[in-house]
């Protein structure tokens, strides 16, 4: 038995002794004591329920406990109203002024039990449910027989009607208490439901004795029925207290093993609350950051050790994750600072524990890898610069050769033989092709260069620009292009225009149908957009679906469709610069569907 369970049982003994105390104290003090106790118990139950609700109850139990906590508040008001009315003068058994609050309290209980029962993922076997309903129904039948046959009360009596109304509510509460109890027999909440069942049993017996006493004119205030009602209030208190004990016992059962796994998981890990305060940190995190435990737990806010330039964007992304209740972890490479001020490049994974505001943050030191990436990036930049320089320098000689070949063909075509003309035609074609290759190399080398201007762009307007530019080809080939409402996205406008234009041009070029059709759609996900460009063209074989994104790869003879084979390589690089990916689906002869993603709110490298 846990320490909390022992304390709860201690409270139970004290409460029950207080309830039974009127049986042994002098009679002249009984009324004062009973009145005070009857006011105190539901008020105390409400206070305990409120504390338990806010400090111990998990999200999936919040509705149940919220409604159950409101019930004793209504009863406390009812008891106060009843005390005021009966303080002086003739005793009044039933009155709208206090019975309304009693009824509201019981309806809160009934609503809570029904809601919780139908929210449970599992249900009883049909035969168990039938047995429970039968037993409760039999109990209701015995009560009816006792009142109308044995005691010969008349249904037309208003007091009988009020008593029956209370019994009807009690019977339904008993039914759903038992159904919930059966669902929780093997769970840690079993004790809670036992006390709820005890509460309604005490209430039913108390209502029976109270109602018969009123009808027989034998009811005496502060008698056995009032003691039973106080016992029912005490059961509500115990139900609240045992719900905290069940949770603590469960935590105690797994805490030691969980902390052992947490501390020796191999990766630096912390848990933080909704205010970003670190609640728990393992040994690896302390070793990585050089902060001692006493400066971390309950004190440190994890964003304080994140580089200031990256802090705001990460907090915005986490806030969005929480708002959309995303279960997908967020992974980012960011810079952290140790207690000594040393910078660490780390891969950090953020994830939320379901139904809580707790974040689990796993940190992996990638400083050495980052250094290699920086060196590799510099090599790539040098290579890009070399490609840009060479491509740019080749343009002038190629232009001269192209001009010379054109002049030769124009001025000397009638002076040379047929073979010479063919050589000149080959020369002009080859120079033109090489110029296009050089231009594509220049385009490829420009993508990813610094100072790219990212901004929010209306993609519908961008598509309209492209269709205007391609209007002649669209009209000649009788092309139908459909596009739905596309989003306003953070992109580099020139590059994104090139992406859509390339995909639309390819969809028209590689299409032998009488009426080429292109559909452009978009799917909106939590952190990215997925764009889809679908056509009814010649399609693609499965073994070519990766190859087409390589530089200067062509699946068809250049004479058939033209081009240099660099278009999709350029498209892929642009998509990568937008932190996305691109792939193609389709079968030969059935058209192609290109998918590509871009990250939302992407603003380039920090």
pLDDT of the residue at 596: 92
Hey, how many other C-beta atoms are within 10 angstroms of the C-beta on 522?
Answer: 15
Distances (CA, A) of 469 to 183, 203, 405, 488: 67, 81, 30, 21
Q: Identify whether residues 177 and 28 lie together within a single domain.
A: yes
Q: Which residues pair with 597 in a beta bridge?
A: 530
**pLDDT of res. 533:** 92
Same domain as 371, residue 516: no
Residue 247 shares a structural domain with residue 277:
no
Model pLDDT, residue 392: 55
Domain final position from 221, 255, 289? 255
- Around Cβ 405, how many Cβ atoms within 10 Å? 20
Report pLDDT digits (tens) over 472-487: 888 888 889 998 889 8
319 and 330 within one domain: yes
Claim to verify: residue 458 and residue 581 sit in the same structural domain: yes
The helix, strand and coil proportions of the chain, stated in percent and rounded to the nearest 5, come to: 65, 15, 25
Angle, helices 62-86/96-119, rounded to nearest 10 degrees: 170
Q: Please tell me whether residues 190 and 239 are part of one structural domain.
A: yes
Last residue of a domain, one of 446, 467, 489: 446
What pLDDT score does 605 carry? 40
Report how far apart, in Å, the C-alpha atoms of 461 and of each of 394, 444, 571 are.
Answer: 36, 25, 20
CA distance 53 to 398: 79
Q: Check whether residue 304 and residue 355 sit in a common domain.
A: yes
- Domain count along the chain: 4
Same domain, 463 and 321: no
Please indicate, yes or no, whether residues 344 and 377 belong to a single structural domain of this protein: no
Dihedral class, residue 532 (left if φ above 0, else alpha if ψ from -120 to 50, else beta): beta
DSSP bridge pairs for 529: 524, 598
Domain CATH number, residue 389 = 1.10.287
Give every residue of the chain whose pLDDT is below 50, as ranges. Answer: 1-2, 246-254, 556-562, 603-606
Domain range spanning residue 94? 3-255
What is the CATH number for 602?
Answer: 3.30.565.10
- For residues 359 and 371, membership in a common domain is answered with no
| CATH number of residue 309's parent domain | 3.30.450.20
65, 105: one domain: yes
Domain boundary among 236, 255, 274: 255
- Residues 434 and 546 occupy one common structural domain: no
| Widest distance between CA atoms in the chain | 139
């Amino acid at each position: 038995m846990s320490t909390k369970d022992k304390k709860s049982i201690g409270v139970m003994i004290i409460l029950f002794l207080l309830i039974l105390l009127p049986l042994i104290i002098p009679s002249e003090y009984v009324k004062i004591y009973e009145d005070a106790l009857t006011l105190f118990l539901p008020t105390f139950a409400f206070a305990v329920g409120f504390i338990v609700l806010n400090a111990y109850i998990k999200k999936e139990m919040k509705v149940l406990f919220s409604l159950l906590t409101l019930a004793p508040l209504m009863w406390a008001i009812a008891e106060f109203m009843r005390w005021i009315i009966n303080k002086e003068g003739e005793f009044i058994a039933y009155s709208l002024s206090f019975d309304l609050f009693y009824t509201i309290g019981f309806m809160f209980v009934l609503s809570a039990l029904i809601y919780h029962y139908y929210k449970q993922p599992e249900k009883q076997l049909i035969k168990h449910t039938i047995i429970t309903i039968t037993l409760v129904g039999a109990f209701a039948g015995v009560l009816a027989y006792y009142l109308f046959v044995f005691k010969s009360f008349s249904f037309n009596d208003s007091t009988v009607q009020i008593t029956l109304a209370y019994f009807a509510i009690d019977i339904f509460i008993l039914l759903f208490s038992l159904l919930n109890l059966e669902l929780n027999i093997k769970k840690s909440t079993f004790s809670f439901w036992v006390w709820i069942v005890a509460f309604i049993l005490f209430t039913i017996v108390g209502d029976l004795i109270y109602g018969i006493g009123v009808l027989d004119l034998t009811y005496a205030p502060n008698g056995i029925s009032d003691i039973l009602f106080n016992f029912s209030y005490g059961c509500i208190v115990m139900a609240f207290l045992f719900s905290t004990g069940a949770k603590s016992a469960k935590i105690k059962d797994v805490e030691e093993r969980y902390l052992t796994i947490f501390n020796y998981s191999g990766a630096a890990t912390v848990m933080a609350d909704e205010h970003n305060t670190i609640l728990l940190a393992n040994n690896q995190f302390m070793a990585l950051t050089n902060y001692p435990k006493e400066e971390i737990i309950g004190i440190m806010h994890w964003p304080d050790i994140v580089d200031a330039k990256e802090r705001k964007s990460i907090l915005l992304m986490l806030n969005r994750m929480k708002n959309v209740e995303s279960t997908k972890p967020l992974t980012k490479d960011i810079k952290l600072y140790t207690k000594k001020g040393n910078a660490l490049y780390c891969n950090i994974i953020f994830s939320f524990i379901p139904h809580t505001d707790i974040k689990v943050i796993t940190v992996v030191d990638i400083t050495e890898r980052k250094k290699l990436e920086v060196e590799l990036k510099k090599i790539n930049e040098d290579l890009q610069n070399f490609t840009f320089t060479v491509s740019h320098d080749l343009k002038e000689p190629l232009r001269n050769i192209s001009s010379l070949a054109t002049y030769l063909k124009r001025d000397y075509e009638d002076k040379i033989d047929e073979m010479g003309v063919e050589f000149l035609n080959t020369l002009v074609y080859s120079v033109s092709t090489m110029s296009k290759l050089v231009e594509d190399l220049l385009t490829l080398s420009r993508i990813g260069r610094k100072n790219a201007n990212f901004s929010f762009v209306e993609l519908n307007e961008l598509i309209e620009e492209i269709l205007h530019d391609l209007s002649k080809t669209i009209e000649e080939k009788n092309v139908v292009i459909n596009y739905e409402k596309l989003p306003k996205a953070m992109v580099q406008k020139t590059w994104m225009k090139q992406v859509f234009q390339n995909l639309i041009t390819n969809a028209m070029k590689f299409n032998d149908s009488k009426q080429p059709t292109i559909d452009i759609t978009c799917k909106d996900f939590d952190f990215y957009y997925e764009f889809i460009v679908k056509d009814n063209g010649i399609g693609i074989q499965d073994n070519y679906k990766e190859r087409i994104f390589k530089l200067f790869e062509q699946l068809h003879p250049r004479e058939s469709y033209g081009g240099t084979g660099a278009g999709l390589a350029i498209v892929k690089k642009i998509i990568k610069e937008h932190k996305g990916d691109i792939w193609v689906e389709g079968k030969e002869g059935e058209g192609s569907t290109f998918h590509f993603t871009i990250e939302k709110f992407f603003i380039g490298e920090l």
